[in-house]
């Protein structure tokens, strides 16, 4: 997978990590980048920030079948799919008034990603195989109770990434799963107790994983520390998650 000259579509790319991917794709010589967001106005505003004719704004809500289908029908030149669109409602599984938040997190973070892969797999095959990058989370390797439905949705997306990689191997499409820790985005603005990586750094790590055909990649120091702690002392890490949950309620 060569980033120079590729054509990419990045979901949820009007801000945060998604926009970091757009910036890095442009810097590394992508021929075209479809900048996708739920609202076309948001996509157009983000595209205008780049001042680059290679950026094509499109409306795309990954939870809506018709919009996923329309994107696949329009973007037939894609050979790199970046599944970045995500939902995080910051309510726990039991304290939420109902299960609508958890349902939206599952539908966006897992089923939306799956819908995009199903729609674009034939396109990637027709364009030589290419690659898929799934933006996951350290909450997808260690259950985080105060993340509510977000952490379970990322566990599901991680497992699906392994399954999809196996299914797509015969057509030459690689699937890279990114384990992302603390990043300086609006979604993580409540995190004040640790250093945050930049969205652009996550984009750079994701493109490296695609080009080098890395199956699963820890993108930043926080993700690396969670992986190391989980390997070294999983019980203590899990207990620390419980303590963090209850300390936050006091």
How do residues 91-150 score in pLDDT, each as one tens digit? 999 999 999 999 999 999 999 999 999 999 999 999 999 999 999 999 999 999 999 999
User: Around Cβ 196, how many Cβ atoms within 10 Å?
Assistant: 18
Report yes or no: 86 and 135 within 8 Å, Cβ to Cβ: yes
The bridge status of strand 7-10 relative to strand 80-83 is parallel
Which residues have CB under 8 Å from 205's CB, separation 6+?
Answer: 178, 217, 219, 220
Question: Binning pLDDT at 50, 70 and 90, where does residue 196 land?
Answer: confident
Residue 117: name the closest of 163, 179, 53, 153 by CA: 163
Q: Which of 21-35, 107-121, 125-139, 173-187 has the lowest mean pLDDT?
A: 173-187
What is the rounded distance in angstroms from the CA atom of residue 231 to the CA atom of residue 237? 10
Report yes or no: 60 and 11 within 8 Å, Cβ to Cβ: yes
pLDDT at residue 241, as a whole number? 87
pLDDT of 197 over the 90 cut: no
Q: Considering 21, 34, 120, 150, which one is annotated as catalytic?
A: 150
pLDDT of 250 over the 70 cut: no
pLDDT at residue 191, as a whole number? 54
Report yes or no: 78 and 123 within 8 Å, Cβ to Cβ: yes
What is the rounded distance in angstroms from the CA atom of residue 48 to the CA atom of residue 40? 12
Q: Which segments within the chain are labelled E, that is strand?
A: 7-10, 32-37, 55-59, 80-83, 131-135, 174-179, 216-218
pLDDT at residue 110, as a whole number? 98
pLDDT at residue 162, as a whole number? 98
110 included as an active-site residue: no
Report yes or no: 149 and 102 within 8 Å, Cβ to Cβ: yes
CATH match for 7-247 among 1.20.120.80, 2.40.40.20, 3.30.70.3000, 3.40.50.720: 3.40.50.720
pLDDT of 36 over the 90 cut: yes
Report yes or no: 22 and 46 within 8 Å, Cβ to Cβ: yes
Q: Distances from the Cα of 56 to the Cαs of 39, 66, 105, 193, 210, in angstroms?
A: 14, 19, 27, 37, 21
pLDDT at residue 195, as a whole number? 72
What is the rounded distance in angstroms from the CA atom of residue 200 to the CA atom of residue 132? 18
What is the rounded distance in angstroms from the CA atom of residue 57 to the CA atom of residue 71? 11
pTM of the complete model: 0.92
């Amino acid at each position: 997978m060569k980033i120079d000259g590729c054509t990419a579509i990045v979901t949820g790319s009007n801000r945060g990590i998604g926009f970091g991917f757009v910036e890095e794709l442009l810097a590394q010589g992508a021929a075209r980048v479809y900048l996708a967001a739920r609202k076309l106005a948001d996509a157009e505003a983000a595209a205008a920030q780049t001042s680059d004719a290679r950026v094509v704004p499109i409306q795309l809500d990954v939870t809506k079948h018709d919009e996923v289908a329309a994107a696949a029908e329009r973007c037939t030149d894609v050979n790199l799919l970046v599944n970045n669109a995500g939902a995080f409602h910051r309510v726990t599984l039991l304290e939420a008034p109902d299960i609508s938040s958890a349902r939206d997190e599952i539908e966006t973070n897992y089923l939306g990603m799956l819908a995009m892969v199903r729609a674009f797999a034939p396109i990637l095959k027709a364009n030589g195989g290419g690659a898929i990058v799934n933006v996951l989370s350290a909450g997808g390797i260690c259950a985080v109770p105060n993340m509510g439905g977000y952490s379970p949705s990322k566990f599901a997306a991680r497992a699906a990434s392994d399954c999809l990689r196996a299914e797509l191997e015969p057509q030459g499409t690689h699937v890279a799963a990114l384990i992302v820790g603390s990043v300086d985005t609006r979604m993580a603005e409540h995190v004040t107790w640790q250093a945050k990586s930049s969205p652009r750094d996550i984009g750079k790590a994701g493109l490296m994983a695609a080009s080098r055909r890395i199956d699963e990649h820890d993108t930043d120091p926080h993700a690396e520390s969670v992986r190391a702690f989980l390997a070294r002392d999983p019980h203590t890490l899990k207990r620390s998650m419980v303590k963090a949950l209850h300390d936050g309620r006091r």
